Amino acid sequence: MTARPFFLDERVQVVFQTEGESRNFFGYYGMSPIDRSGNRLLAHQISFDGRGVLDTDTAAVGYWDLSSGSFTKVGSTRAFNLQQGAMLQWMPPDHEKRIVYNDIEGGRFVARVHDLATGDTRTLPHDIYAPHPSGTFALGSNNERLYFCRPGYNYSGVVNDKWNRPIHEEDGIFRIDMGSVSVDLIVSTRQIADIAPQRSRETLDNYLEIFVWNPSGTRFAFLHRWNDKQGGHTTRLFTAGADGSGIFMFPDSGFYSHMGWRNDEEFTIWGQLNPWGSRISSSVREHAPLRSLLKPPYDLLKSVISRGSLGRRMIPKTGYLKCRDLTGTTGILGEGLLTENGHNTWTRDGRWMLTDTYEDDQGYRSLLLYDSREGRLHRIGRFLSPFNRSVYRCDLHPRFDHSEKLVIIDSSHGGSGRQMSVLDIRVIMEENP
């Protein structure tokens, strides 16, 4: 018996879906693929699925007209992956006239800024990750470095052995000026690694990634990660001012994941709460002989005490942490309701949080909407997902459009490879004014 490809809340309508022989996807979450006027849907188009990206693969970039259903190709790129694409996005502040995406030119990663009205394309000398809300500059990661340490989130096509070392003094977060096209290192990996340093970390691959601006662009959050020798990684969470100053480190639990700003001072992130228990866990992770010795009794102790008051003090809690910038973590959002890691985005009024899950034991990913005022979780839909637990999986990566009434997802539930769906969820929101 063939599994049903998806389930939708009866109040939700599918208003558009990409189709055709090509696979269509947007990439990451936290930004709208639809322009501010609501007419054009940005997408990458590729001819393959079910495998990772090769050096020879190319993605077309362009947009779907939501009225006519036609696709317009704007350009192409070899600098992309299946999780974040080429960081294709509408350029602020208007989110209407220009698009930006990463590419390769002259043996290095660059960014293309394309004006849809004139057809002109400018090339920036560095790839970008997060444009500032003003549109005057952008934050960029070091994809030449990520090639060596971030499978699935790296770009192929440029191999520079200069960056193949645990910590490089010239690596970090870059500011790319859109006018002068200057590129400046504003936060270095070495600078972050030297905050509460650990000797064992010096021999492991360190890198900075996932840069997320607060709504007004005064500060941004980012992750410091280093890989262990077992194929995993440890994560610390930081914020900084727009120029890289004023760095603040959140409690060192060793585990942080996806984040979304709720307002200029607060954001949520999937992570661990309970610094005491987390520090113990982190210390054990950092020392392989200690980890081998203590893991069996630790697992047994955890199962015995996890339901008692001692367990609640010792065992780190995992959930959507409520974070206040320059202060720390203040609790867990939707405890008991929001129980799975996902890619979270907030409405501008800070009431609704959109998120998703990874696959369940039947292979379905869930799309969720949390009403923080009512403390109520709405399950928008479930989507059958192939290629799970691989670098070429298709996460839903849900995003609001600018009206915050539509939700756009990537999904492989239809049997024709990854495609994009636009869902109208306004009925759910209007039932809860």
79: in domain: yes
10 neighbors 378 (Cβ within 8 angstroms): no
- Answer whether residue 292 is part of any domain: no
Q: If we measure between CA atoms, which residue out of 124, 149, 120 comes closest to residue 136?
A: 124
Range of the structural domain that residue 108 is part of: 19-274+316-346
> What is the reported pLDDT for 415?
81
pLDDT of the residue at 9 = 97
Residue 42 is inside which H or E element, if any? strand 40-46
> Is 60 within the bounds of a domain?
yes
421 within a domain of the structure (yes/no): no
Look at residue 420 and tell me if it is in a domain: no
Residue 59 sits in a domain whose CATH number is 2.130.10
Total count of domains within the chain:
1
Chain centre distance of CA 392: 15
Q: What is the pLDDT of residue 306?
A: 45
Q: What is the pLDDT of residue 284?
A: 54
* Position 77 in a domain: yes
The rounded average pLDDT for each run of 10 residues, N- to C-terminus, in the chain (433 residues) is: 88 96 96 98 97 96 98 98 98 98 97 97 97 98 96 95 96 96 97 96 96 98 93 94 98 96 98 65 52 60 51 73 97 96 98 98 97 97 94 97 98 91 97 84
- Does some domain include residue 39? yes
**Considering the domain boundaries, does residue 97 fall inside one?**
yes
| Residue 151 contacts residue 82 (beta carbons within 8 Å) | no
Q: Sheet containing 419-424: which strands, arranged edge to edge?
A: 13-17, 419-424, 406-411, 399-400
